[in-house]
Amino acid sequence: MLELKKGMTVHLTDGGTAVVEKELGRGGQGIVYAVKTDSGMMALKWYTDRPDDRFYDNLAENIKNGAPSDVFLWPLHITRKEYGSFGYIMKLRPEGYYEFTGFLRAKYRFESYHAITVAAMEICEGFKALHAQGLSYQDLNDGNFFIEPKTGHVLIVDNDNVFPHGEKSGIKGKMRYMAPEVVTGQNPNAHSDKFSLAVILFLLFCGNHPFEGARVASCPCMEEDAERRFYGSEILFICDPDDSSNRPVRGVHPNVIRHWPNLPGILRRTFITEFGKDRLLNPTRRLTELQWQSVIMAVRDNLVICPHCGEETYIDGASGCRCMNCRHSFDIPSILQIEKRSLALTKGNLLYIDRDEVPDVEVIQDKSDKSMLLLKNISGTKWSVDTPSGRTKIVSPGEVMPVKKGLIVTFGSFNKKGTIL
């Protein structure tokens, strides 16, 4: 009997205790309970499949080293081995966060496209930090993320299979998320994590699976040999430019059919490369999380407010500056060029100078002259602006400046210069 009951006390190796209050959920490896601890209510994951000592020691090591970043709901304490098994303590999932699986089932919806970019950025941030510590996640799938639909903030859960890159956790992963080389027999590692990450990003932006198109849909019975083919030896991206045999099917994969043409070119090109034969077959060539973050930043730069309907739309999609919501075409009157980035200056748009999800600039309309756009400083630091005639102006937080060609803005603490074109 490995299940715990209400009122039972488990002992933590650091001297604390946890008293079981109620069951919160159960999965293949174990059961999660709400427990009362010295530092308040927490969650206890209790293993029912009795992992071995190596697993226990690795978990203890991960706890000692701490979470790679704030996006992880990381194990905080490990229990002694008792009642025939063991478990670990983590924080309870905060209110308002929902499993990504629920988004894929359309039970929950992102409240904006911006929230999707935030989620994508935070997921990359988490795995970048994890891989930077020489660790690999090894079982990345749709059940590992809790997301807040309004803001896109992410929590990464199930961090107990995290092992140093190259070491086996004993978990191979979940079909549909496993890298093709893992499907065909290799062990998961940081490179296969990057494949699974790309699948998750595709699901976030497109709402359908990147390898499930006509070929997969026409298979009446998905048995194990077929799975090994479709997700392993014969894996084929649904938007592969050279092979159209696995295209999304009308009526079956409506989300990707709708979203794909709207996505900024840089994101479409990145998916095509990342899910192309070369990267599928050569795991070490896959994009790093930092490279993904640059792509997602460009996507965010291409997400603007439509001047006609006031809704979000991507620009640089297949149809250029045509609103994906109201279908009106519009011009981008001015842009702010920061190094290679071109930020569109349209009314209502928010600009992000650095990588975080806090906007720094708001593009507004001059109340007295509606044809004049203004940049409002909503960052925490002063900007200095050089005019073409050589004067320097200061724009403090809360103040505005006109959108005029030739102005060069130095964004104080970010050490970035932007030119209005």
Partner 1 sequence: MPVFNEPMPRRTMVLFFLVDASSSMEGGKIGAVNDAIRNVLPMVNDISVNNNDAEIRVAVLKFSSGVEWVYSEPKLASDFEWLDIQAAGLTDMGEACRELSRKLSRSAFMKSEGGFFAPAVILLSDGHPTDDFAAGLNSLKRNKWFMKGIRVAIAIGNDADKDALAQFCLDKEGVFDVHDIESLRKVIRLVALTTSQIGSTSATTADTTKQGQVIAAVKQGIENNKPSSVEEGKLEPAEPKKDNWTDWD
Contacting positions for partner 1 (CB under 8 A): 1-3, 9, 27-28, 48-50, 82-84, 99, 101-106, 109-113, 115-116, 139, 141-143, 168, 170-176, 187, 203, 207-209, 212, 217, 219-225, 252-255, 311-312, 325
Closest approach, Cβ 193 to partner 1, in A, equals 13
Closest approach, Cβ 418 to partner 1, in A, equals 29
Q: Is 206 exposed, middle or buried (0-12, 13-18, 19+ CB in 10 A)?
A: buried
DSSP letters for 40-55:
EEEEEEEESS---HHH
Helix (H) or strand (E) holding 18: strand 17-26
Nearer to partner 1 among residue 169 and residue 334 (C-beta): 169
CA–CA distance, 98 with 95 (Å, rounded to integer): 9
Nearer to partner 1 among residue 128 and residue 209 (C-beta): 209
Closest approach, Cβ 138 to partner 1, in A, equals 9
Nearer to partner 1 among residue 10 and residue 375 (C-beta): 10
Cα-based angle 38, 33, 77 (whole degrees, multiple of 5): 45
Closest approach, Cβ 378 to partner 1, in A, equals 22
Nearer to partner 1 among residue 252 and residue 394 (C-beta): 252
Nearer to partner 1 among residue 7 and residue 40 (C-beta): 7
Closest approach, Cβ 405 to partner 1, in A, equals 32
Nearer to partner 1 among residue 174 and residue 355 (C-beta): 174
Instruction: Sort residue 384 into left (φ over 0), alpha (ψ -120 to 50) or beta.
Output: beta
- Sheet with 350-351, strands from edge to edge, namely 350-351, 361-365, 373-377, 400-402
Closest approach, Cβ 144 to partner 1, in A, equals 10
In 3D space, the residue among 350, 368, 349 whose CA is nearest the CA of residue 360 turns out to be 350
Closest approach, Cβ 28 to partner 1, in A, equals 4
Q: How far is CA 25 from CA 28, 30, 46, 297, in A?
A: 11, 9, 11, 36
Neighbours of 49 (CB within 10 A): 11
Which tokens in the block code for residue 411?
């964004």
Nearer to partner 1 among residue 347 and residue 417 (C-beta): 347
Nearer to partner 1 among residue 37 and residue 85 (C-beta): 85
CA–CA distance, 380 with 388 (Å, rounded to integer): 26
Closest approach, Cβ 255 to partner 1, in A, equals 5
Q: Residues 154, 159, 164, 168: what is their CA dihedral angle, to the nearest 10 degrees? A: -130
What lies within 8 Å, CB to CB, of 319 at 6+ separation is 261
Closest approach, Cβ 421 to partner 1, in A, equals 30
Closest approach, Cβ 183 to partner 1, in A, equals 10
Nearer to partner 1 among residue 250 and residue 367 (C-beta): 250
In 3D space, the residue among 246, 247, 245, 240 whose CA is nearest the CA of residue 276 turns out to be 240
Q: Is 358 exposed, middle or buried (0-12, 13-18, 19+ CB in 10 A)?
A: exposed
Nearer to partner 1 among residue 135 and residue 216 (C-beta): 216
The one-letter amino acid at 44: L
Which tokens in the block code for residue 364?
């507004």
